[in-house]
Amino acid sequence: MTTTYPGVYIKEQNQLSPSVSHYNTAVPAFAIDVEAQTLLGIDKAKRIDSYMDYQKLLTNRRLSHDIESQKTITKDKDMNQLNNCMRTYFDNGGGYCYLIQTDKLVTEVLKHDDITLLVAAGQNLTAAANILAQGNNLFAILDGPKSEIDTRYKLAEGIDGWHNMGDSQYAAAYYPWLTADWTVDDIPPSAAIAGAYCKNDRKVGVWKAPANIALIGVIPKYKVSDTVESAFIKEDSEALNMIRRFNNGPSIIWGARTLKGSEQYRYVPVRRLFNSVEKDIKDAIKVVMFEPNSQRTWDAVRTSVTNYLTRLWGNGSLMGTTPEDAFFVQVGKNITMDQADIKQGKMIVKVGIAAARPAEFIILKFTQNVAQ
């Protein structure tokens, strides 16, 4: 560049520079039964932006039906459950969401790249288990047993659908169901939990455990003791996260475990953080598709992913006192791929992160200092 006078000069460079950014990590799809789908006139995924938006949908359906149909929409048991779920979800911090008929979850969810959560809302999500573990950036929030349980409750004997998901690292279940002074019906806990997930992700981030959060407008139907809770958070077994009240205080989400008992993906924030990181990076490096599979491209990818993970480490989502302790990014010939891979058009990027885990057990040690 030739400079001829004092001032600011701009030089544009056509430089490959993929950028990794965050997306909305909590967008739920609520499962609804076929009766509610029919009454609402929904034949595919329906986006709901707010509780007012949902109320508007109900009003429009009532106005478009005769008197008898209006009574059905108002009094139908399935509609009451969905109404309660929607109010509870938005009361507890929920953002926009989708309503999808349960039997259509598998096909409809995959059409919407922004959906990240499957919410049981009183339905059985067993049929959707296959799409959770296929790299679709999905996590399921399930309802625990509807009846009261104690330490003698056996998973195999339960009639509820949550345990039929097996030891999935992509799902978490919550107990007990909820009650509220504005409805006579029990409310599926997954609705309130989904709202809490949304609020948690907005205020802090997906890496923060969605637990020790007070729920608004609802209380657990059954009281949960320490003894009962301990029976359902054993290692190497399907965990059941509890909603509890301490000293007649607010209803608190008191657990953040997946159905996977093994240590690697035992906690909800760890699994959801990996989901988020995988999607962010995957979407970002699409920009280098069909670029030369060469050192220049590898360096650009390594730099962008490193910058992204450094930001994650800086906000406390990763372990380690330095970025080098928290993650690594590898790409290159004789590092992640050989000449045969390159000839086949493969660019292999290896990323490792050390996710921070929640402080689930805080142990206080007291000693009596006896004066000498």
Give yes or no: residues 259 and 334 share one domain.
no
Tell me, what's the pLDDT at 65?
58
The whole-angstrom separation of Cα 167 and Cα 148 is 22
Tell me, what's the pLDDT at 3?
66
Helix, strand, or coil here: 139? Answer: strand
Q: Name the residue range of residue 46's domain.
A: 28-270
| Strand boundaries in 54-144, DSSP class E | 97-101, 117-119, 139-143
Give yes or no: residues 75 and 218 share one domain.
yes
Mean pLDDT of the chain: 88
Q: What is the CATH number of the domain that holds 38?
A: 3.40.50
Give yes or no: residues 198 and 94 share one domain.
yes
Residue with tokens 């938005």: 90
Confidence of residue 369 (pLDDT cuts 50, 70, 90): confident
Give yes or no: residues 180 and 265 share one domain.
yes
Give yes or no: residues 266 and 316 share one domain.
no
Confidence of residue 27 (pLDDT cuts 50, 70, 90): very high
- Kindly state the tokens that stand for 363: 């142990």
Tell whether the model's pLDDT for residue 30 goes beyond 70.
yes
Tell me, what's the pLDDT at 156?
44
Give yes or no: residues 149 and 298 share one domain.
no
What secondary structure letter does DSSP report for 95?
A: -
Q: Lowest mean pLDDT: which of 13-17, 138-142, 251-255?
A: 13-17
**Burial of 286 per CB tally in 10 Å (0-12, 13-18, 19+):** exposed
Average pLDDT over residues 146-174: 74
Tell me, what's the pLDDT at 330?
94
- Residues 107, 143: contact at Cβ < 8 Å? no
The one-letter amino acid code at 28 reads: P
Q: Lowest mean pLDDT: which of 12-16, 265-269, 334-338?
A: 12-16
Give yes or no: residues 120 and 239 share one domain.
yes
* Residue that is last in its domain, among 235, 270, 305: 270
The whole-angstrom separation of Cα 139 and Cα 170 is 5
Tell me, what's the pLDDT at 5?
65
Give yes or no: residues 252 and 296 share one domain.
no
Q: Lowest mean pLDDT: which of 18-27, 72-81, 196-205, 233-242?
A: 72-81
pLDDT digits (tens, 9 = 90+) for 297-327: 999 999 999 999 999 999 999 999 999 999 9
2: region left, alpha or beta (phi > 0 left; psi from -120 to 50 alpha): beta
Tell whether the model's pLDDT for residue 230 goes beyond 80.
yes
Tell me, what's the pLDDT at 264?
87
Give yes or no: residues 171 and 51 share one domain.
yes
Average pLDDT over residues 72-79: 66
Domain annotation covers residue 277: no
Domain annotation covers residue 39: yes
Tell whether the model's pLDDT for residue 71 goes beyond 70.
no
pLDDT digits (tens, 9 = 90+) for 166-216: 789 999 999 999 999 999 999 999 999 999 999 999 999 999 999 999 999
Domain annotation covers residue 72: yes
Confidence of residue 6 (pLDDT cuts 50, 70, 90): low
pLDDT digits (tens, 9 = 90+) for 267-289: 999 999 999 999 999 888 888 88
Domain annotation covers residue 157: yes
Give strand pairing partners of 298. Answer: none
The whole-angstrom separation of Cα 254 and Cα 174 is 9
* Residue that is last in its domain, among 214, 242, 270: 270
Domain annotation covers residue 17: no
Q: Lowest mean pLDDT: which of 16-30, 158-172, 220-234?
A: 158-172
What is the number of alpha carbons within 13 Å of residue 363 lying toward its C-beta?
1
Give yes or no: residues 310 and 264 share one domain.
no
Confidence of residue 159 (pLDDT cuts 50, 70, 90): very low
Tell whether the model's pLDDT for residue 157 goes beyond 60.
no
Give yes or no: residues 98 and 191 share one domain.
yes
Average pLDDT over residues 125-152: 88
Domain annotation covers residue 35: yes
Give yes or no: residues 259 and 309 share one domain.
no
Domain annotation covers residue 315: yes
How many domains does one find in the chain? 2
Helix, strand, or coil here: 136? Answer: coil
* Residue that is last in its domain, among 220, 240, 270: 270
Confidence of residue 245 (pLDDT cuts 50, 70, 90): very high
Domain annotation covers residue 283: no
